[in-house]
Amino acid sequence: MNPAKVDRARLVRLEDLPNIGTATAGDLRRLGIRTPADLVGQDAHELYDRLCLLSGLRQDPCVLDVLQSVVRFMAGEPARPWWYYSGERKRAQAAARKA
């Protein structure tokens, strides 16, 4: 769903979350996430790694950004577009390469 249209009081389906459409909702279900509340306390990086393992493919890094957006939203942050988290991911990856 478009982050600007998300209503925190009406989170029933995964598709009610910001940035989540049919395909990503399917990925979340594959990970055992059935409701938005199931994302509380989750780690986006762990979810991403598990999804890569389950699919047998390295998922696009933007999938990590989407996961970050919903995990943080469920932790109380505002609904933001997934690309808001891309810069953070890229900086973290660059720092890891330097280390």
What is the count of structural domains for the chain?
A: 1
Give the model's confidence band at 1: pLDDT under 50 very low, under 70 low, under 90 confident, else very high: confident
Using one digit for the tens of pLDDT, what is the confidence trace for 79-97?
Answer: 999 999 999 999 988 898 8
Helix, strand, coil percentages for the chain (3-state, nearest 5): 65, 0, 35
Q: What's the CATH number where 86 sits? A: 1.10.150
Query: Which pTM was predicted?
Result: 0.93
Q: Which domain holds residue 53?
A: 3-98
pLDDT in tens, 39-82: 999 999 999 999 999 999 999 999 999 999 999 999 999 999 99
